[in-house]
Amino acid sequence: MAKSRVQFICQNCGSVHQRWAGKCDACGEWNTLVEEGTAGGIGSGPANTRNARKGRAVVLTSLSGDIEDAPRIVSGIGELDRATG
């Protein structure tokens, strides 16, 4: 079971904090942070945001076709030249 996420919201300015503090960092008021739990069930979290549709479509370049041999640079170190091609 997923761990429920807890946020602390300032009643004065509405800023969100990840943990409780005596003083709100945004507005400077004391003892105004109230705990609010968020649902951490199915459909929330990183897996769901990964599948969210964002941005615009990108045109991909086709890789089929003739491959040109890239010029090789010889380093003079035999093992390095063999490993890097």
pLDDT digits (tens, 9 = 90+) for 15-73: 999 999 999 999 999 999 999 876 555 555 555 555 556 688 888 888 777 777 778 88
Question: Which two three-digit tokens encode residue 65?
Answer: 């076709």
SS3 30: strand
pLDDT of 4 above 90: no
> What strand order describes the sheet that includes 16-17?
16-17, 5-10, 33-38
Position 76 confidence tier, pLDDT thresholds 50, 70, 90: very high
How many beta carbons lie within 10 A of that of residue 33, not counting itself?
A: 23
pLDDT of residue 13: 92
pLDDT at residue 72, rounded to an integer: 84
State how far the Cα of 9 lies from the Cα of 13, in Å rounded to an integer: 8
Q: Where are the domains of the chain?
A: 1-45
What pLDDT was estimated at residue 55? 80
Q: What angle do CA 58, 59, 63 make, to 5 degrees?
A: 130
